[in-house]
Amino acid sequence: MRFPLIPPIDEDSTAAARRRQQELTKPAGSLGELEELSVRLAGMTATPRPRLERKAVILMAADHGVTREGVSAYPAEVTPQMVLNILHGGAAVNVLARQAGARVMVVDVGVAADLPPVEGLLLRKVAYGTRNLAVEPAMIPAEAEAALEVGLAVVEAECERGLDLVATGEMGIGNTTASAAIVAAISGASVSQVTGRGTGLDDGGLQRKVALIEKALAMHNPDPQDAMDVLCKVGGLEIAGLAGVIIGAASRRVPVVLDGFISGAAALVAVGLVPQARPYLIAGHLSVEGGHRVIYDTLGLRPLLDLDLRLGEGSGAVLAFHLVEAAARTLDEMATFSEAGVSDKTP
């Protein structure tokens, strides 16, 4: 499969933003991580003073055959119900997106039910969920590639509408199981280290989930150096779709704010497929899922927020929009010492 070319970070814009940070009316470094983030944004967008007014969360929805193994506290029927709740504006991501001034795009890339046509829903179903990774590979390569293509096409269309900043979101019962398998396979961490309670498993359920993932990885033996192999054997359609969103956004110089554990797994896949995508990633928050820190360590990212979130949907990434935009606005809108007529010399 061929992916779009991703441009390198623009060094001239990076240098210009760093110089401007030194000239703003504040002690150098006094805005901490916001300063470094603003410089990164300048390099990503190839704009010395980036403005991030047009924001969106792209939410990929799909089901997982592994839910038949009892790895979730909720049945698969919850996926389409929650998708409709999001489309009707009643989910957490809707509330937080409205606050952030961001639009929400919902994509059915693999829900195991036929959803009615609703405004805001893109019907791009590749399959009615994945196969049960506990007994066979989750996807054939053609399905994984098709889901990646969905992500690429959706973000391309959103860029044509106007897009300065994108968040990754997802909905799919059972997707923490697939994500834990991906993270363990690519990072080399133990399954127990990267597997959490998901939607709220008890101790016994967590132990069964760990054992199932260990068995699946031993059975399928995915190649950690081959992200497509990992994706096909233990991944998910929405994870593939989000990997496509990440790659497509990076190819258009649109910064990507990652949400939780599932989005992080998609980022590992995206960077495995196209390493040049990594500099365009912003870690929105740190989930309570233990494997999320492993993802960030593997990608070399530092999360903006740590609020014990574990909802998904893109909720944590949309919350982080406020900090990302604050970084860009302080770089762009603050006065320099010369503009303000303030001396930048210490007595």
Structural domain spans, the chain: 55-323
- pLDDT at position 108: 98
- pLDDT at position 344: 75
pTM given for the model: 0.97
Q: Which of 69, 170, 313, 325 is catalytic?
A: 313
- What does the alpha-carbon distance between residue 236 and residue 147 come to, in Å, rounded to a whole number? 9
Q: Which tens digit of pLDDT belongs to each residue from 282-324?
A: 999 999 998 999 999 999 999 999 999 999 999 999 999 999 9
Q: What is the mean pLDDT of residues 85-113?
A: 97
Sign of CA dihedral 206, 208, 91, 261: positive
Residue 342 contacts by C-beta under 8 Å, 6 or more apart in sequence?
25, 335
Phi, psi at residue 266, to the nearest 5°?
-65, -35
- What does the alpha-carbon distance between residue 225 and residue 215 come to, in Å, rounded to a whole number? 20
User: What is the average pLDDT score of the chain?
Assistant: 96
Q: Which tens digit of pLDDT belongs to each residue from 129-172?
A: 999 999 999 999 999 999 999 999 999 999 999 999 999 999 99
- pLDDT at position 5: 98
Show the tokens assigned to 272: 């495995």
Q: Which tens digit of pLDDT belongs to each residue from 162-201?
A: 999 999 999 999 999 999 999 999 999 999 999 998 878 8
- pLDDT at position 343: 86
Q: Which tens digit of pLDDT belongs to each residue from 11-64?
A: 999 999 999 999 999 999 999 999 999 999 999 999 999 999 999 999 999 999
- Are 174 and 154 within 8 A, CB to CB? no
DSSP symbols for 108-121: EEE-SS-PPP-TTE
Identify the CATH class of 55-323.
alpha beta
- pLDDT at position 290: 85
Buried-state track 180-191, b at ≥16 Cβ within 10 A, e below 16: bbbbbbbbebeb
Examine the residue annotation and report whether 313 is marked as an active-site residue of this protein: yes
